[in-house]
Amino acid sequence: MGRPAWDEYFLNMAGLVATRSTCPRRQVGAVLVRDQRVVATGYNGSPRGQPHCSDVGCLMVDGHCKRTVHAEMNALLQCAFYGAVSSGGEMFCTDFPCLDCAKAMVQAGVRAVIYRDSYPDPHSRATLTAAGVALRGPGEDRGAIEGGEGDGGSQPG
């Protein structure tokens, strides 16, 4: 019985969160973590009080469903809703974030994005790296997801 490394642990959690998504086109999950503690979670779904894609169909604009609030954005907005701190957090995502979510994460002080599936968005990547946000995932040169036992320490910066 293997004990998962922290990255694996929180990515698995993001996958579980994604199963609550209400958009049939893509189920995305995100978990915001600070000091190995879950601060907030989010999945892509309609704003409060709005109908779900799963009930009324997607709202398609230029080939994308625009009905939902994205998973990463929902995790940040959950911080706003409940008064939690996002700054210095790490966002664990099932998918590589889009540009809008990348910009929001930069402004919210997220310092690392760890993702499972690569979704090529050069603008999003450039925005994150320009802000010094660390990236870990299958699309990164240095591969990846942290393995082994975590020591609980955090990187400076």
Q: Does 116 bind Zn ion (CB under 5 A)?
A: no
Minimum separation from the CB atom of position 49 to Zn ion (A): 16
Name the residue nearer to Zn ion (CB basis): 5 or 131: 131
Measured CA to CA, the distance from residue 140 to residue 136 in angstroms comes to 6
* Residue 8 bears catalytic tag: no
Closest listed residue to residue 78, CA positions, set 52, 36, 108: 108
The number of C-alpha atoms within 13 Å of 150 and in the hemisphere containing its C-beta is 16
Pinpoint the alpha helices (H) of the chain.
Answer: 6-18, 53-56, 71-82, 99-107, 122-130
Minimum separation from the CB atom of position 20 to Zn ion (A): 14
Question: By CB under 5 A, which span of 12-20, 81-89, 94-102, 109-117 interacts with Zn ion?
Answer: 94-102
Q: Are the CB atoms for 20 and 46 separated by under 8 Å?
A: no
Minimum separation from the CB atom of position 97 to Zn ion (A): 5
Q: Does 128 bind Zn ion (CB under 5 A)?
A: no
Q: Which residues share a beta bridge with 30?
A: 42, 93
Q: Does 101 bind Zn ion (CB under 5 A)?
A: yes
Q: Which of 53, 69, 133, 145 binds Zn ion (CB under 5 A)?
A: 53
Question: By CB under 5 A, which span of 9-17, 78-86, 99-107, 132-140 interacts with Zn ion?
Answer: 99-107
Q: Does 65 bind Zn ion (CB under 5 A)?
A: yes
Instruction: Provide the CA 31 distance to its chain's centre, in angstroms.
Output: 6
Which residues are tagged catalytic?
72
